[in-house]
Structure formats: C-alpha cells, structure tokens
Structure 1
Amino acid sequence: MSIPRQRGLTEQAATAAIDHACRMLRLPTIRSQFPELAETAGREQMSYLGFLSELLLAECDDRARRRSERRIKAAGFPRDKSLRKFDFDANPNIDAAMVHTLAKCEWIKKGLPLCLIGDSGTGKSHLLIALGTEAAMAGYRVKYVLATKLVNELVEAADEKQLTKTIARYGRVDLLCIDELGYMELDRRGAELLFQVLTEREEKNSVAIASNESFSGWTKTFTDPRLCAAIVDRLTFGGNIIETGTDSYRLATTRARAEQQLATS
C-alpha cells in the first residue's frame, strides 16, 4: 500500500501520515519519539537536516540497544552482573585497570582465553558475567554455561550421535564463558569431550573460565595428567589470568552486616 503524498497537510493529517509510514518502514523509535523531537526542533529552531539527523540517530541508538539486549539474553547469564556494581575496593587482589582493559574486548577480537581463579565469594563469577555482558554489548556473540551442564550436554549429545553438531554450536560463539570449573571430578570421557570443545575454539574464538581451583589442583577435576596439562595449556596460552584470592567478599559482607545488627540491637 502506497502513501499518497500531498502538500499542505494539516498537522493532524501529517502526524497520521508519519505514524503510518513508520509502521510500514518498521521505525518504532521514530514513531514514538517524533512528536517530542519535532517540538524540540521547533523550539530550538533546528534545520530540516538537523531534525532529520536527530530522528535517524534516535532510531539507530534504540536498535543498537535492542540488539545488545537480545545478545545478553541469548548468552544465558543466570543473573545481572555489571562492572559498575563490582566493588574493587573490597578485593585488592583484583587489578581494576586490567579488568577495565579487558572490558574493551580486544582479547576477544584476538581469540585469546581468560582465566579467573579464586575461592568462592571472591568475585570471579561476577567478573565472568560482567565481562561477558560487556562483550555482548560490544556486538560479540556470547554463551554462558556451567562446566557441569556443558559436560553433561556433551555426553548426552555423544550418546545421541549429535556431538559434532553440539561442538560446532559452542564453537560458533565469539566468547564461551564456562563457570564453576573445578567443582566436580570429571571422568575421562567427560574431560575428553570438554577438551574437544576447547580445541575447536583454540586460537579462533575466546574462552573465559572461572574456577575455584588453582591450576595445580585441576588434577582433581581432570584425573588424566596429560589431558589436564593439555586443557591448562589451551586455557592459558597467550591469555590473561586473574587471581581473585582466598578471602570471601560475600562472607566478609555477611559478617559485617551481622556485627552491625548486633551493635544496633
């Protein structure tokens, strides 16, 4: 359906025509914002080009925001975590400058790995999710998964003869975030399947992991020494390692809150 073009439209008719055109062209932001932007343009005596640029930039900005939201949702993060909400003062082991440099995503562009190593409650999962969110906002395809869930999925895929397809799916994302690596012992089959995923991504797409075990303790998870060494090599070669320490931030916060309640009671 074409839109008849007429000169001398009334303001009401012009508004209806713009609304109809925006629906046809799928410009929801311009459709919702043009009355306010038109009023601002008239008040500030903007040129026609200036007004048009404001409309188009508003649409572009909103589309970029919606794309970011879709990528963040597709990543499957279990909760919302951001760098802005991370308390670097509470954990002096973490170099804030290094983390903010990582947030620029150059390491993902180069396909390098990232390892976050530390005890429970030291902020490694928060940083993993926050950096993954930054990557999604920057336009990268991101997937978050627990190590146990990933291995179980790979085992099921192998049993159903869907392993190649599953590994390829995990291989396509720009950043694979594997959380809670080291919380369980993997049998040789599970470890080998995980190794296949890491090999598929090696020097092509980035992997970021969070683990409560230092590398020396990974033999508890990967009981085959050679396989363990190969996995450590895949996850560290040319990459970044952040050690979040052993002092639980969550535990310290809980104790401080309890002490404050006792003091005020």
Structure 2
Amino acid sequence: MSKERKSTVLLQHHLKQLKLPTMLKEYPLLAKSCSREKCDYPTYLLRLCEKEVADRQRRAMDRRIKAAKFPLLKTIDSFDFASQKSVNEPLVRELLRCEFIDQYENVLLIGNSGTGKTHLATALGFAACCQGCKVRFFGCTALVTQLLEAREDRQLQRMLTQLQKQDLLILDELGYVPFSKAGSELLFEVVSRAYERQSLIVTTNLPFENWTEVCGSERLTGAMLDRLTHRVHIIEANGSSYRLDQSRKRLAKQQKRAAEN
C-alpha cells in the first residue's frame, strides 16, 4: 500500500471513529476546491469544520421537529393574515423570535374554530425547534388521556418528568371536550409544574369565564388561569372559519362549472 493510500485509509478510519460523517464525505471535494483557490491549510480545515457543524445542527433540528410530534407541519409563511385580520400579526412575528420561551412566558390563542389557532401554535413551535428548543405538541384531550393511563400504570411521575424536560409544551384545543375531575387535576398538575419553569402555548375556543365548563371546579380553574395568565401573550382569532370559507369557495366554483356545462 502506498504512503498516500495508507494516509487516506487512516484518515477515513479516524473520521469514522470521531463520528464526523460530513467531514468524511466532504473532505476530498473540498480539498480540490481549496487547492484551486490556493487556500492555506487553516482555511481548508475551517471550511471543513463549518460543513460538519452546519450539518450537525440541521440533523439536530430535524430530530427536534420529529420529537415535537406536530400533527401537521405548518409554518408562518403559509398563514393568511389577510383572511384573519383580528390576529395581531406584529405580536405573532415578535413571538417567532422565541424570546418568550427564555422568559418562561405563555401564549394563549383564543377564538372561534377554524380561525388558524392550531396553525399559529404549530408555526411558533416549529420556530422554537429551529432555534434549538425542545418542543412537544399535544391535543389537550389526548394529553389528559395519556396522563390518566400513565397513572393507572404507575408511570405518572415518569411522564410528568419527561414533560418537564421540554422547553415548550403546546396544548391544543382546550374546551372541545370536558374533563373528568381526575383529568382536570392532572392537567392542572402539568400547568402548575410548568409555571415559571417552561413555556406553554394553549389554544382554546372558550373565553376565560367558560373554562369551568371544561375543568369543572371553579377553584381549580381559577388556579390554572392564575398560572397561565401571570406572564402571558394573548392572541385573539375571531374571524370567520378559514375551512368554512374554503368550502364555500369550492362549492361556488363547482356550481359555476356546472352552470357553464
């Protein structure tokens, strides 16, 4: 084996051992590129390291997005602010910087069904993933069900501990299904543990005065609201249903085509 070939084999072995897959993949092409540009060795090494770091950050971001378990991946670019004029766009844009997570602040998205609350919550969660935060998305009913099942299996503390490891919890669609007394108490436990330790995004179709319909106890509801609203950004979405508007437009187009034929 030639000396040059031996060096190449050893380099590839060491890069594999050090778990630097991008450097392993990119070093030959980058070496040729830097040779043509007559770059010095530190510049070549810097560029190679930059590629490894960038690829590692991208893979980590992809893992965070997958771990968040968004029902559908939505970004702010696809949200139609023009159709939902009640939504405070400047506030949403500010929240996309995710400084509220650093401050352990909450976001409440309140409004009618179909106005894009889940879309906005997901977009904020996606932005948080891109900025290095650990995020987990739950439908409220599904979360309460999982908590009840975990309690039955004597795994409740383990689940609560896992939830506390997140930087941001998204609780979607609070208000569509009332909870049992036990379910409400477990949801309160999640909110209570998150208070001033992590951030919550909650979407709901109910005004605050009607939360007792879902949570049952006025005392528990008051305590939950007290924690959620202490340091909070409230976004109201009170326009017409986007899904209903789209259905009406499709129906109008179908009727128009039928009349033309």
Q: Which residue number corresponds to residue 39 of structure 2?
A: 46
Tell me the CA shift for residue 254 of structure 1.
2.6
What amino acid does structure 2 have at the position aligned with 1:112? E
Higher mean C-alpha deviation, range 64-73 or range 161-170: 161-170
SS at match of 1:100: helix
Q: For 1:43-79, what per-residue CA distance to the aligned partner results, in whole angstroms no more than 9, with x for missing partners?
A: 3332222221111000000001111111111111112
Q: Which residue number corresponds to residue 210 of structure 2?
A: 217
Whole-Å Cα distance in 1 between the matches of residues 84 and 35 of structure 2? 52
Check if 1:153 corresponds to 2:142: no
SS at match of 1:179: strand
Whole-Å Cα distance in 1 between the matches of residues 157 and 253 of structure 2? 55
Whole-Å Cα distance in 1 between the matches of residues 110 and 223 of structure 2? 18
Tell me the CA shift for residue 149 of structure 1.
1.3
Identity %: 38
Whole-Å Cα distance in 1 between the matches of residues 2 and 165 of structure 2? 47
Q: For 1:188-245, what per-residue CA distance to the aligned partner results, in whole angstroms no more than 9, with x for missing partners?
A: 2211111111111111111111112222221221221221122122211111111111
Alignment partner for residue 184 of structure 2, among 179, 184, 191? 191
Gaps of 5+ in 2: none
Q: Which residue number corresponds to residue 167 of structure 1?
A: 160
Alignment partner for residue 22 of structure 2, among 26, 29, 33? 29
Any residues of structure 2 matched to 1:110-259 within 5 Å, and which? 110-259=103-252
Tell me the CA shift for residue 166 of structure 1.
2.3
What amino acid does structure 1 have at the position aligned with 2:192? T
What amino acid does structure 2 have at the position aligned with 1:145? F
Question: Structure 2 vs 1, CA of residues 250 and 40 (structure 1 numbering), >3 Å: closer, same or farther?
Answer: farther
State the TM-score, normalized to the length of structure 2.
0.90
Q: Which residue number corresponds to residue 81 of structure 2?
A: 88
Tell me the CA shift for residue 17 of structure 1.
4.5
SS at match of 2:78: coil
Tell me the CA shift for residue 13 of structure 1.
6.0
Q: Which residue number corresponds to residue 77 of structure 1?
A: 70
Would you identify which runs of 4 or more consecutive aligned residues in structure 1 move more than 6 Å?
Answer: none
Higher mean C-alpha deviation, range 205-214 or range 251-260: 251-260
Q: Which residue number corresponds to residue 109 of structure 1?
A: 102
Q: Which residue number corresponds to residue 65 of structure 1?
A: 58
SS at match of 2:77: coil
Tell me the CA shift for residue 174 of structure 1.
1.1
**C-alpha RMSD of the superposition:** 2.1
SS at match of 2:63: helix
CA contact (8 A) 2:169 2:200 kept: yes
State the TM-score, normalized to the length of structure 1.
0.89
Whole-Å Cα distance in 2 between the matches of residues 171 and 75 of structure 1? 14
Whole-Å Cα distance in 2 between the matches of residues 5 and 166 of structure 1? 57
Any residues of structure 2 matched to 1:8-23 within 5 Å, and which? 9=4, 15-23=8-16
Question: Structure 2 vs 1, CA of residues 255 and 40 (structure 1 numbering), >3 Å: closer, same or farther?
Answer: farther
Any residues of structure 2 matched to 1:2-13 within 5 Å, and which? 6=3, 9=4
- How many residues were matched structurally? 258
Gaps of 5+ in 1: none
Whole-Å Cα distance in 2 between the matches of residues 17 and 158 of structure 1? 53
Higher mean C-alpha deviation, range 174-183 or range 216-225: 216-225
Whole-Å Cα distance in 1 between the matches of residues 230 and 90 of structure 2? 22
